[in-house]
Homo-oligomer: A and B are copies of this chain.
């Protein structure tokens, strides 16, 4: 029987999930069923959450794990009366932090992923709109606004990475694809050369690329392993020759690709 896990929060639950998952992945030999209960911001909702937790305990005869990021002390105390085993994030860290900072916390809910002020929100949306407007090689007259320009062959992860960098970190990202036609005597088009310091190359294992392209256009010349191998070798040669920093995305999550780019390009993360 899988272990039952609850991520519980008076906000979005995203911090509770991220903290809980990072702990649970350290027990890879065990299996977990996870449920997120966000917006537990009243005593009534706490009551309902407790009921769900206790019923799960009865059903499975194993004590559920609870990762909680509830900020309100009263609601937190209430949830602590459930029969689950609680790992309480704020209970653990807020007191030592208060005593170090010689001040009281405000115990206000939902600030971590709150909208904050309009300018911050706008900066993030603007970054997303920019990424969409400069996706897949379009609109390269607008590249001077980019903080980084991702380049690489089709289906190596440029678009999801661009969108993630924009949404999570507010970075202005353009991306430009090299097609098979570009491969012979591959060199940088002038509009990329002019922004050379912003270029970041993505590459990918040809076997993985073949698999991805097969999904898209099965048994096409585009998806053939030979084509993938040729394109990948060509762009890697270009990156080396032009001293463009690059990353192999094959074994990376989108988060890993995005944060590696920030590090390698010395870009500052914006926090939302």
Contact = CB atoms under 8 A, between A and B. Distances in A.
Contacts of A116: 253
B18 A15 contact: yes
Q: Which of A97, A251, A255: most chain B CB closer than 10 A?
A: A255
A201 interface: no
A189 interface: no
- Copies of this chain present in the complex amount to 2
Contacts of A262: 38
A254 B124 contact: yes
Contact of A85 (B14, B65, B100, B256): B100
Interface residues of A, number: 83
B215 A26 contact: no
B256 A115 contact: yes
Q: Which of A36, A65, A272: most chain B CB closer than 10 A?
A: A36
27 contacts: A3-B101, A14-B255, A17-B271, A18-B19, A19-B19, A21-B271, A22-B69, A23-B90, A26-B71, A26-B90, A29-B103, A29-B106, A38-B263, A39-B263, A65-B100, A87-B93, A87-B96, A87-B97, A113-B255, A121-B253, A124-B254, A128-B160, A132-B159, A163-B163, A163-B167, A164-B167, A253-B272
Given A15-B22, A163-B163, 12 more contacts: A3-B101, A11-B22, A13-B259, A14-B168, A15-B19, A22-B112, A26-B97, A30-B103, A87-B96, A118-B208, A122-B215, A167-B167
